[in-house]
């Protein structure tokens, strides 16, 4: 760090308490806070816009501080959260492992609404003509933000910012990827657990089917489709994965038991009528129905078996690429293929790479939930994401590839802030 750079004396634990309060009451309404708020926003003006809604981003930091600034030892001891001084110190270093704590600061303006986020959480917002009473003035938080921004802009102007951030920003705040085989080398028990339900023969057959020249396109189509035929296809998958009741319940009842539940009228059709299915398939108005979600789960963790119609006829398309359901999906796909159903599989090659450990896991920053993180990896096809683990962290860091940190730039001639 530059010898001329003064670190704000407010330590990270104190800042975190201010941020926690602000998250629960983010509106800026009292005049004193508004004035300080606009002083802060003006400081951010020289930064180049890097996204929609006049998004500006900047890394700021604060010292960890002493253990006495972290918490009151006697209070923690009395509350039973620790048993001795050593545990207290371990807790402190667990929560604040580095000498500096880093904060990703973002400011946005949408029309006349100004928003400030710290580590992707909204902490301040000013809306025009806000009538909300602010029972928690935020001048202390804004005082810190102003000094923190001044520190980082000082580094930018002296052309030290990029090097300082690259050298000091913890990997927990960064974006990277790791070859799954390399990850399994660090955590072999995870590989064992993941592949426990699939045998080598199934792996060999799956690889053969996915790598065939037809590129996973069904070789033929069915001339007709019925709900009964669909339920029977589902039953094959339930049996292959040993779902509850799979060997004793009728196909339709198995679907009722294990599917999403929002069948959109599919369960009401005559199971033997192709005409009824066609009328429903082409004429139904979708009102939140999910008839194809045959294995219940979350938004990204269910398994779907779609019915596809094209000029050649009817076929099935299976989808379920989340790591937690991928083995089930493969077994579902294999049994349909073996029984002669025309079926394709979404992300088949990517699932095969996952099973072989030849794909990459995207590593996303702390505070980002590792789902739907494709925007961090433009142009890449990754099926799974994770945050940096808290165990064997250094080994994972060494094995991973880390993307360049996004640069922050100053505008040549910052324009004036909008009139207020």
SS3 content of the chain, % helix, strand, coil (to 5): 40, 15, 40
Per-residue pLDDT at 414 exceeds 50: no
Q: Residue 322: what pLDDT?
A: 93
List, for residues 49-63, the tens digit of each pLDDT value. Answer: 999 999 999 999 999
CA-CA distance, 122 to 136, in Å (whole number)?
15
State the average pLDDT over residues 289-303: 90
Vertex 401 angle, CA 395 and 407, to 5°: 125
Query: Which H/E stretch holds residue 121?
Result: strand 121-126
Per DSSP bridges, beta strands 401-402 and 56-63 are: unpaired
Distance set, CA 272 to CA 191, 227, 231, 287 (Å) = 44, 7, 11, 25
Per-residue pLDDT at 192 exceeds 70: yes
Q: What is the DSSP letter of 364?
A: E
Single out the residue of 251, 245, 277, 246 nearest to residue 264, CA to CA: 277
- DSSP for 196-245, written as a single string: TT--HHHHHHHHHHHTSTTTT--S--BS---HHHHHHHHHHHHHHTT-TT
How many CB atoms sit inside 10 A of residue 359's CB?
21
Calculate the average pLDDT of the chain.
Answer: 91
Q: Residue 168: what pLDDT?
A: 95
Per-residue pLDDT at 417 exceeds 80: no
Q: Residue 131: what pLDDT?
A: 57
Q: Residue 6: what pLDDT?
A: 54
Query: Which H/E stretch holds residue 116?
Result: strand 113-118
List, for residues 197-224, the tens digit of each pLDDT value. Answer: 999 999 999 999 999 877 678 889 999 9
Single out the residue of 70, 73, 330 nearest to residue 194, CA to CA: 330
> What are the residue ranges spanned by the domains of the chain?
12-64+99-169, 182-356
How many CB atoms sit inside 10 A of residue 346's CB?
16
pLDDT band at 4 (very low <50, low <70, confident <90, very high): very low
Q: Residue 413: what pLDDT?
A: 41
List, for residues 70-117, the tens digit of each pLDDT value. Answer: 999 999 999 999 999 999 999 999 999 999 999 999 999 998 899 999
Single out the residue of 265, 256, 255 nearest to residue 234, CA to CA: 255
Q: Residue 132: what pLDDT?
A: 57
Contact 181, 359 (CB under 8 A): no
Q: Residue 215: what pLDDT?
A: 62
Q: Which residue in this structure is represented by tokens 């080598």?
A: 200
Q: Residue 138: what pLDDT?
A: 78
State the average pLDDT over residues 242-256: 96
CA-CA distance, 168 to 1, in Å (whole number)?
9
Q: Residue 217: what pLDDT?
A: 83
pLDDT band at 130 (very low <50, low <70, confident <90, very high): low
Most confident of 289-293, 299-303, 354-358: 354-358
Per DSSP bridges, beta strands 343-345 and 100-110 are: unpaired
What are the beta bridge partners of residue 57? 106
List, for residues 132-150, the tens digit of each pLDDT value. Answer: 555 555 789 999 999 999 9
Q: Which residue in this structure is represented by tokens 């064992």?
A: 192
């Amino acid at each position: 760090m530059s010898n001329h750079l003064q670190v704000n004396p407010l330590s990270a634990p104190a800042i975190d308490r201010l941020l926690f309060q602000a998250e629960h009451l983010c509106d800026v309404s009292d005049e004193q806070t508004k004035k300080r708020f606009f002083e802060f926003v003006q400081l951010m003006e020289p930064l180049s816009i890097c996204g929609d809604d006049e998004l500006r981003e900047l890394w700021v930091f604060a010292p960890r501080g002493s253990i006495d600034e972290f918490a009151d030892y006697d209070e923690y001891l009395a509350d039973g959260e620790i048993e001795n001084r050593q545990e207290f110190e371990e807790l402190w270093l667990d929560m604040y492992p580095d000498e500096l704590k880093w904060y990703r600061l973002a400011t946005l303006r949408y029309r006349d609404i100004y928003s400030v986020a710290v580590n992707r959480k909204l902490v301040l917002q000013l809306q025009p003509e806000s009538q909300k009473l602010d029972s928690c003035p935020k001048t202390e938080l804004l005082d810190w933000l102003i000094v923190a921004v001044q520190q980082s802009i000082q580094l930018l102007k002296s052309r030290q910012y990029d090097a300082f951030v690259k050298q000091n920003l913890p990997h927990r705040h960064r974006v990277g990827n790791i070859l799954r085989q390399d990850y399994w080398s660090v955590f072999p028990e995870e590989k064992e657990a993941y592949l426990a339900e699939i045998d080598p023969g199934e792996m060999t057959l799956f690889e053969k089917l996915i790598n065939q020249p037809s590129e996973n396109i069904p070789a033929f189509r069915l001339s007709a489709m019925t709900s009964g035929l669909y339920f029977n296809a589902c039953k094959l998958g339930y049996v292959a994965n040993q779902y509850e009741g799979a060997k004793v319940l009728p196909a339709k009842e198995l679907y009722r038991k294990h599917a999403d539940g929002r069948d959109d009228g599919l369960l009401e059709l005559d199971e033997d009528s192709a005409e009824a299915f066609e009328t429903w398939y082409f004429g139904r108005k979708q009102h939140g129905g999910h008839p194809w979600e045959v294995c219940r789960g979350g938004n990204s963790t269910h398994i779907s078996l779609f019915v596809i119609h094209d000029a050649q006829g009817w076929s099935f398309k299976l989808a379920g690429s989340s790591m937690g359901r991928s083995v089930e999906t493969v077994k579902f796909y294999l049994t349909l293929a073996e029984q002669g159903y025309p079926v394709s599989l979404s992300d088949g090659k990517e699932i095969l790479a996952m099973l072989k450990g030849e794909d990459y896991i995207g590593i996303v920053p702390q505070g980002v939930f590792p789902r739907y993180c494709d925007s961090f990896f433009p142009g890449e096809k990754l099926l799974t994401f994770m945050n940096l683990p808290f165990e064997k962290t250094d080994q994972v860091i060494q094995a991973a590839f880390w993307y360049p940190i996004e640069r922050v730039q100053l505008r040549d001639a910052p324009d004036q802030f909008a009139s207020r």
